[in-house]
Amino acid sequence: MNFIKEKRELVILVSLGILLLIGGIWDKQISQGVMNQGSLFGTFFQNYGLIFPGIIIFMSTQIFIYYAKESNLSHFGKGSIYFIAIIAGLYQIWQMIKIMLFYTVTSLNNSQNNQPIGAANNDGGGAMSFPNWFFPALVILSLLTFVVGSMLCNRWLKGKNQGELNKLVLVGLGAIVAVYASNTIVDVMKSLWGRFRPYELQNSWADYTNWWRINGANGHKSFPSGHSEQAWLALYLPLFVDPLKKNKRQRIVILTSVFGCFVAWSRVRIGAHFLSDVAVGSAIAIFVIYVVSRLLNQRLDGEALSE
């Protein structure tokens, strides 16, 4: 079993090395050949590919709420956990819906102005007017998603014994670390590398740089890909599943890996990132999840948390 795990980890490292080598040689040519800001495939995953970090954090807050409800804590202790977890969970849902609506409005505006539907200022430097329905839709969808999500999580957690809840609390805490650690790493690297995005270079490729060149903070944030990193954070979801349910875990790993690949390729397709950008963004999320799962004494293939 250990040999299989080590072989799997080696395959991932070798694959990353190959992608970075390909990107170092042909990043520009690949983007020039496949980039299309009018791609519906690229637009869909640009608009809705950032969903999983919010879901993961929300699930964690629901675990904390259910754990507090089933515990022997004082009323003040339970109330404190309820308050913090509800605020944090609602905030995550709010942010998730807000990002999806933002990109949706961008696509609608592009369509109305006869621009490529996937064209977007990914670094937030441009002003955009929002329709009157934006804020009401944000409020309604956020509250509805929070209520439905809470009901589903309560149904999932119902019947869990104390030992299972104790393990899930640790998994929930690990989820928060994984999401914020990987996001922080990507944000710092984006600012430090200062790499131009492919769509910024369409008229002139004079400012193109390879992935290993650090340009410093200049407002350009192509390397690494945040969408890819956040999509691959979905790989944390199997850790919420009972370690004894190995087949279910494996299915989730496969589905989330396919999703991560789709989002990563969509970023190259729509011209928001180079191949090396999405490779490193994906690798950061996978590495952070691997480290956190090891700290929890748990692997994605079903090892149980130590008692």
Q: Is residue 301 pLDDT above 60, yes or no?
A: no
Crossing angle of helices 162-193 and 52-70, rounded to 10°: 150
pLDDT score at 233: 96
d(CA 297, CA 300): 10
Q: Is residue 216 pLDDT above 50, yes or no?
A: yes
Indicate the residue type of 40: L
Among the ranges given (168-177, 224-233, 245-254), the one the predictor scored with the smallest mean pLDDT = 245-254
pLDDT score at 126: 56
Cβ-in-10-Å burial (0-12, 13-18, 19+) of 151 comes to exposed
Q: Is residue 164 pLDDT above 90, yes or no?
A: no
**pLDDT tens digits, residue range 48-71?**
999 999 999 999 999 999 999 888
Q: Indicate the pLDDT class of residue 212, thresholds 50, 70 and 90.
A: very high
Positive/negative CA dihedral, 14, 16, 20, 23: positive
Mean pLDDT over 36-53 rounds to 94
Q: Is residue 90 pLDDT above 90, yes or no?
A: yes
Q: Indicate the pLDDT class of residue 74, thresholds 50, 70 and 90.
A: confident
Q: Which has the closest alpha carbon to 294: 228, 239, 231?
A: 239
Positive/negative CA dihedral, 214, 216, 220, 221: positive
CA angle 189-240-154, nearest 5°?
Answer: 120
Query: Omega before 131 cis (within 30°)?
Result: no
CA angle 165-168-173, nearest 5°?
Answer: 130
